[in-house]
Amino acid sequence: MAWQVDQGILDQIKDVKMEDRLSTWRKEMKAAGYRVYVDRQRLFTESWKQTEGQDLEMRRALAFKNICDNMPITILPWEFIVGKATPGVVGATPAIDVCGDYMPAIWEDSDEMTIGWSAHATLSKEDKDILRESAEIFRKENVADLSNDAVRQVMGDWHDEAVAAHVVDPGLDAVFFGSSSSSCDFPYIVQNGIGSYIDRAKQYIEDERQKARPCADKIYFWKASIICVEGMINLAHRYSALASEMAEKEENLKRKAELESIADVLTRVPEKPATSLQEALQSMAIVACGKIFEHPMHNYPHWGRGDQYLYPFFINDVRSGKITVAEAGQMIGELIGRWGTSLHIMAESLKESHQVNYGINALALGGYNQNHEDASNELSALFLHMVGLLKISSPTVTVRWTPKTPDWMMKAAIDCNMETRGGIPLFQNDDRTIGKYLEAGIPWSEAVEWFGLGCVYPALLTRAEHYGMEGLAGLNLAAFLDMALHNGKDINGYQLGPDCGDAKDFKNIEQIKEAMWAEHKYVIDRTVECAHIALQIEPRYMREPYWSTIAVPWHFANGQDILIPDPEHSLWGFSDRAIIDVADTLTAIDHLVFKEHKLTMEELMEALDSNFEGERGEEIRQMCLAAPKFGNDIDEVDYLVSEISDRSAQYIKHMDNSPFSNFMITREGLSWHFSAGLGVRALADGRKSMEPLDDGSFSPMGGADKNGPTAVLRSVLKAKQKDAAASVLNQKFTKTLLSTPGSQDMLVKYTNAFLGAGGTHIQYNIMDTEELIEAQEKPQDHEDLIVRIGGFSAYFVQLSEGIQDDVINRTEQAL
């Protein structure tokens, strides 16, 4: 039976406004600027020096607890849901114990440092001294450097060169461990409280001791879990005491009551089960701080399916009259805002592919439930409404579309998109994503609970995701083709792959394809070799006892840190991208050289190697641009996209990853196409050297889709990319067009038709090109303009000029 929503509550949601609490937060957040707080690093290092020689799991747990017990905390005047990883409105904390000496600015005389793509902060001399001491201590015992060293011992400088040439990404310095950028088990935590982990760990230890041969590593792990959870409970009690102290001094009666409520709630959660929406959100806020305390390199945990596990608290509180719909919205908005403006100090290899200053945070809404019915509910609508009101670049909101998704849900999603305009939310086909899990042998009960990880990468609470630190992430197929045309050498001239012969000697398009696949196979084989080396090294020098307790349930129950992957409870993934660029390029070569004989391979290669220089070069470039392109409903190109995506996927899926499961494939977004483009010389599709590639794994080349939006959809549906759990398609519609009567209903129908026909994913930038050009020229007047880049959204004025131009040059579609 389909879910019956309360229309009265839906009507009330539409009337919820941005009240003083959120308005004040937004104003203060924008005025605060970026700041680096060194307290977490200072406290970690302090503990580390005192525990030398102890078990690694215990050392990291004791350092974690030292942070929880001593981290400076604040409750700002507008806060009702409290708990932040740093004391300020927004702030970043270094991760030197994880990454080593990864911030060059701490050794420079200047007091300014860059912490993201365009985020700058200042550091005092005292703060720099703290970080310098930590850098000296952890320079020889951090997992990023030690993993890289091990890879170099086996593979020489190959992997360094591959990352430098943007052929694979990210580098090992990105420190993506299994599920390290995923979500914790909020459904369990709000229902049971984190105190239950202590009781369970004690029982596990007792049971292990009764065995004839107890495992010391498991006992260490569970003891470390207890230490970490006790630290989080202590942190909650510290906030409770601070709220009580502030309440005693508060003269405003309304604020005094709020502080007293905060203090009271924090005596119970997150230790005990939540009994209200306030308690559930407060529990999540405190628990999430621990993720940053332990591993600060990424962001707060993703919400996961927030509209599902929080729904009982929401509906019970609203129906009982305990809170109003508006009050629920303000509390949810607080946490959306805080998590959506979290900062982290990026590794160098991430800055170009993650051109966003705030950490990527994600929220999944709707989708199937365990009974195969659509699970959209009133809280789904409230989340969408609050995201629209806040108008911030994060979270990445995924509407899990099903054939049963109700019209009110789709309209609420499009309303949110009209408010944010930058691709929030995206729409992802539930049948497709769940189907990929089922094909991998994962039961429906687990697969149906998937949520987006960062952009569109699907994740499960029950399985650890491995797709980053181990080198298993982005593969640049355009670079493989470029290497095939240049004797296996990358853009920097390094012999990264095999020499497949001089491009001028290729006699037909099939020879070029086979050369490209030779490069493809060589690079992926080496990338997996790197991964298995890293997997051996990581657990020796890094552990995450807190995250291993509250994230993937199997790891806690079995006393095994999440950095030690388990064959039955881990998933492995690749993202092979630039398929559209390759198809367009091969089509152009085939037409211009082998079919129409307008050029010789020698003439074409001279034009490419000169970056289309001179009059003749530009003439050849125009010929390349005029060749058939994906996105125009042209069978030849569309089926070539299918051929390339299928062959790449089949090779990846059938690689030996024993003892672990075969690789899954997701072709996500990020701003990967910008960084990957830096590793590709000029292509025969007309793209110049080092320019961005296509902006999503299914998006046409910028400006090449000339036959309207439905032609793009027909191309996508023919190309299929059937082996990918998700493939990103960006489309751009004008704000003016969608302001006309009935146009938003048309967009709902358009979305339903595409996904109903088998489309995997779609998202919309809703803005006029003139507005984007003006924002580029007058950034100070457009600070809040949000755009969808690939799989995530960002503030337009914070992006590189190359990405800005890429968004501007995308085709404006008309319904």
- Tens of pLDDT, residues 503-518: 999 999 999 999 999 9
Average pLDDT, the chain: 92
Task: Classify 236 as helix, strand or coil.
Answer: helix
Mean pLDDT across the stretch 191-214? 97
Q: Decide if pLDDT at 765 tops 90.
A: no
Q: What is the pLDDT of residue 481?
A: 98
User: What totals of helices (H) and strands (E) does the chain contain, helices first?
Assistant: 34, 18
Confidence grade of residue 470 (pLDDT, cut at 50, 70, 90): low
Q: Decide if pLDDT at 354 tops 80.
A: no
Cβ burial of 646 (10 Å; 0-12, 13-18, 19+) is middle
Reference 326, options 729, 21, 752, 559; nearest CA is 21
Task: Classify 422 as helix, strand or coil.
Answer: strand
Measured over the CA atoms of residue 484, residue 489, residue 490 and residue 491, the dihedral's sign is negative
Phi, psi of 329 (to 5 degrees): -60, -40
Q: What is the pLDDT of residue 472?
A: 56
Percent over 70 (pLDDT), the chain:
97
Mean pLDDT across the stretch 582-610? 98
Q: Decide if pLDDT at 815 tops 70.
A: no
Q: What is the pLDDT of residue 282?
A: 98
Phi, psi of 666 (to 5 degrees): -135, 130
Q: What is the dihedral of CA 647, 653, 654, 658, to 10 degrees?
A: 160
- Tens of pLDDT, residues 406-449: 999 999 999 999 998 888 999 999 999 999 999 999 999 999 99
DSSP for 76-93 reads -TT-SS---SSSSSS-B-
- Tens of pLDDT, residues 517-533: 999 999 999 998 888 89
Q: What is the pLDDT of residue 479?
A: 97
Mean pLDDT across the stretch 169-182? 81
- Residue 330 CA to residue 338 CA, distance in Å, equals 12
Reply yes or no: is the peptide bond before residue 214 cis, omega within 30 of 0: no
Place of tokens 């659509």: 374
Whole-model pTM: value is 0.95
